[in-house]
Amino acid sequence: MTELNRASLDKYIRSVGVRQIRLACGLVLFAYLLSHFINHALGNISLDALAIGVRYHTAFWKSLPIATVFYAAATAHAGLGIWALYQRRQFHWKAVEPIQLVLGLSIPALIITHLAGVRFDDALFQHQKLYPQVFYSYWIKWPYKMWLMYIVLIVSWIHGCIGLYFWLSMKAFFKTAAPFLLATAVLIPTLAMLGLYQGGRRVVHDSDTAQWKAENLSRRQVGTAAEQDIIDSIVDYFLIGYVGLIGVVLIARGVRTLNERRGGMINLSYGNGRTVRVPKGLSVLEASLRNNVPHASVCGGRARCSTCRIRVIGDCSSLPKPSRREAFVLNRVGAGADPAIRLACQLRPNTDLSFFQIFMPHVTAASLRKAGSVRIGQERYLVSMFVDMRGSTALAEQRLPFD
């Protein structure tokens, strides 16, 4: 039993890569986003419902173990998103991949104003800002923040839904669940934004009275002008640092491209007479995308589906060894024992390479599900035998009814 558990643990560890960590962190953040959106939707009922909802929401997400997981996931997800910007040399033909990356990278810059005004304000000055205070700030004092908040809601939700689509589109139940998931993906943010609108309109209506201001705009709740200046400074420094970090990553990409070109070029032959010349360091799939060569890749080069598999022609000893994730995927489809079978999204050759693609370029997740399974299958050798039997007619006349 101990050996079985150890083998299962080893298999699980080999299956985990950077993309799997990013997915896990993204699921934590999406769970928080979903909870927050449901809380916002309570504004369609009343401000009291909002207050009750945020009490439970805060109690759960601010508890020490949950808060630790949440902030660790947020930090890791943001860091891996920046790493993806540097690492990814070529995007899929579909525009949804660069859109997801751009939306994800824009979220920290968009959300920092709200984060500093609520979380940092609470941590530094112990101000108790809840929905009435936030609505007053966003709808009356700084109206532009209202539109910024709506943009944050839309951008973060779309980014999360794209990530979920990439993950779930290969699941067997996706075709059945897709209409319900789509309805949920449209309904929840719509109700959340309507709830914010209703709550903000109620605060605008009630904030004219001196009693409401005395109850909701005390120094203990909203702070002073000097404290607000400190919060604004934090926002400014964060934006400068974040934009500078993105700039450094883009410069690093340019430097890497120059170094790759100076490091030499290699030829990739596709086995059908097509040969492309690319810099060293590109994966085979990235080389195909860069040169507009159709190449199957249902998961978009995330080492999940194995549809980008290729069979190398010739000597394989000079190829880089498969990573743990690539080895796990190849073993899962029964191709791990054959060194000539590699994932095009993971293989980055340093010498000339000849190969042919195993799957047709037009294979999609939908076609796999239509075939009855999303499991890609296994590599197996087939034997085709043709028997040319001489004089078969004369032989059959003696043994079979013949007219």
Enumerate domains of the chain plus CATH numbers.
2-257 (1.20.1300), 265-370 (3.10.20.30)
Confidence of residue 74 (pLDDT cuts 50, 70, 90): very high
Helix, strand, or coil (residue 310): strand
Measured CA angle at 33 (ends 31, 38), to 5 deg:
95
Going by C-alpha positions, the residue among 241, 284, 246, 209 that lies closest to residue 82 is: 246
Predicted local confidence at residue 41, as pLDDT: 95
CB 67 within 8 A of CB 52: no
Predicted local confidence at residue 364, as pLDDT: 58
The whole-angstrom separation of Cα 385 and Cα 382 is 10
pLDDT, greater one: 382 or 330: 330
Give mean pLDDT, residues 111-116: 84
Predicted local confidence at residue 92, as pLDDT: 58
- Most confident segment among 110-124, 239-253, 366-380, 386-400: 239-253
C-alpha distances in Å from residue 191, one per residue of 161, 187, 188: 16, 6, 5
Strand partners of residue 279: 265
Could you list the beta-strand ranges (E) of 298-367.
309-312, 341-343, 353-357
What interhelical angle do 64-87 and 47-61 show, nearest 10? 80
Neighbouring CB atoms inside 10 A of 265's CB total 12
Measured CA angle at 307 (ends 339, 349), to 5 deg:
45
Q: Which amino acid would we find at residue 127?
A: H
CB 285 within 8 A of CB 295: yes
CB 185 within 8 A of CB 37: no
